[in-house]
Amino acid sequence: TAEAADSGGRKTEDSVGARNREAQTGESACGGCGEVVPREHVYCPNCGEKQSHRAFCECGDEIRTDWAFCPGCGRRTPAADVLKDR
């Protein structure tokens, strides 16, 4: 799905709505060909493109899996407990 951001760099309702639809259906669009791909697939069966599994904070900001805190709202991420043990 195309990412849209307002002038403050935060996700707009369109990108949040797309993520909500993906969460409800368990499918997402392939970044390579646009075909609908079940989320459990690692590769697109149509074009072979590796599927990305993006993580999002409760506030809607995209977060990396190696971040302990969301830069948008400061919430702890699931990775925080793992990262503190390093």
* Residue 32 domain-assigned (yes or no): yes
**What's the confidence (pLDDT) of residue 75?**
95
pLDDT reading at 35 higher than 50: yes
Kindly report whether the global pTM for this prediction surpasses the value 0.75: no
**What's the confidence (pLDDT) of residue 74?**
96
Greater confidence (69 vs 13) lies with 69
Q: What's the domain count of the chain?
A: 1
**What's the confidence (pLDDT) of residue 47?**
95
Distances (CA, A) of 10 to 15, 22, 56: 10, 19, 12
Q: Which domain holds residue 24?
A: 13-84
